[in-house]
């Protein structure tokens, strides 16, 4: 198990980075590409499970959707918690 911990840490970091990049791309594309485009629909299918719980708690305020920012922050916090717990093993 001790040999697996660095691999698990790497995979956790990789998954968090992947979703953070997808969120960043989705946010950028929202300014330039219509939401009915195929790429935006694919991103929506991937990111909706992350966005929905956040939007239920914090809806867009004055027309500004903070969901992507909050999602990235939560992903980073989750990453730090998982890495810290793995370091204890």
**Intra-chain end-to-end CA distance of the chain, in Å:** 9
- Per-block average pLDDT, block size 10, for the chain (89 residues)? 86 96 96 91 95 94 92 96 90
* pLDDT for the residue numbered 85: 92
Give the Cβ contact number of residue 26 at 10 Å. Answer: 21
pLDDT at 1: 66
> pTM, whole model, 2 decimals?
0.88
Residue 82 near residue 5, CB atoms below 8 Å: no
Q: Kindly state the tokens that stand for 74.
A: 């939560």
Phi, psi dihedrals of residue 4, rounded to the nearest 5°: -85, -20
Q: What is the DSSP letter of 61?
A: B
Comparing C-alpha atoms, which of 35, 31, 18 is closest to residue 72? 18
């Amino acid at each position: 198990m001790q040999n697996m911990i660095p691999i698990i840490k790497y995979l956790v970091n990789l998954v968090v980075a992947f979703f953070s990049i997808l969120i960043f791309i989705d946010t950028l594309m929202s300014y330039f590409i219509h939401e009915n485009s195929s790429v935006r629909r694919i991103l929506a299918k991937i990111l909706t499970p992350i966005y929905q719980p956040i939007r239920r708690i914090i809806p867009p305020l004055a027309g500004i959707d903070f969901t992507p920012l909050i999602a990235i922050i939560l992903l980073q916090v989750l990453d730090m918690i998982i890495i810290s717990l793995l370091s204890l093993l």
